[in-house]
Amino acid sequence: MTSTVPVLRAGLLSALGSLVERLLAAHGIVYEVTRKDGLTEIRSERVVARFSADGGFSVSFRDGTELRGAGLVVEEGVATVKVSEGGLSFDYAHFLPHIEKCSTLHGHTATVSVDVTGPKRTEGYVMDFGVLKRLVKSVIDELDHRIVISPKYVRDVRDGRYLISFDGLGGSYDLWVPQSRVALIEGDSTVENISAHIARRLIESIPVRPVLVRVTVSEGVGKYAVAELLR
């Protein structure tokens, strides 16, 4: 009879290692990976992550702090808090010229959930749910009822308005829009880039270090993207 435990552990290690590599790559951080005697080590100037064949792992940061655990269960001193639904939604308009059916101005109602993983305080919690929810709300309010676009589509600025130009469904579009109704983000306004934008804005203000922030944005039933940032 074949045991499934080694396969399970290998899968967990692979998932955790891939997550760390994706986070480092997303931040443009150079890293190297070594594998020897059942130990995988991912090393950069800022973080060293080690994964052992028995499912244990550790993530050490430059400031001396460290996370340890086994498989996907982190040590008692670390926990994850989550906020979702309950007003965490926003309406936005956008266009994606490289996707035909999305290459005209249209809108979505997006819902957001946020997971924050970090060390527990001496009182036994990572951060107050109310504080986290207010931070998330303040970030998504910056996108609510706005046209979300990349700066590359802004052709002119005049009298407090943007001239937004792009080629899309049916021809060329030129729109003069008040600056106050436009939100600029990095890259085209795909749900992937919107979730990454929210994660970057959140991680600046979350008072937890080290911290892993996971943002999930849904733009419809069964359609969502996830962004993960580690700092």
Q: Where are the domains of the chain?
A: 5-74, 79-230
pTM reported for the whole predicted model: 0.72
Question: What pLDDT sits at residue 55?
Answer: 65
Residue type, 198: I
132 band by pLDDT with thresholds 50, 70 and 90: very high
Q: Are strands 73-74 and 154-158 parallel, antiparallel or unpaired?
A: unpaired
Place of tokens 């107050």: 128
Residue 63: pLDDT above 80?
A: no
What does CATH list as the number for 79-230? Answer: 3.30.479.10
Residue type, 150: S
The alpha carbon dihedral of 189, 193, 197, 202 has a sign of positive
Residue 1: pLDDT above 90?
A: no
6 band by pLDDT with thresholds 50, 70 and 90: very low
76 band by pLDDT with thresholds 50, 70 and 90: low
Residue 18: pLDDT above 50?
A: yes
**Is omega for the bond preceding 151 within 30 degrees of 0, making it cis?**
no
Indicate the average pLDDT of the chain: 85
In this prediction, residues 68-91 reach a mean pLDDT of 75
Neighbouring C-beta atoms of residue 40, cutoff 10 Å: 19
The alpha carbon dihedral of 83, 114, 199, 162 has a sign of negative
14 band by pLDDT with thresholds 50, 70 and 90: low
Cα torsion through 154, 156, 160, 162, rounded to 10: -30
Higher-pLDDT residue of 17 and 48 is 48
36 band by pLDDT with thresholds 50, 70 and 90: confident
Question: What pLDDT sits at residue 4?
Answer: 32
Higher-pLDDT residue of 191 and 59 is 191
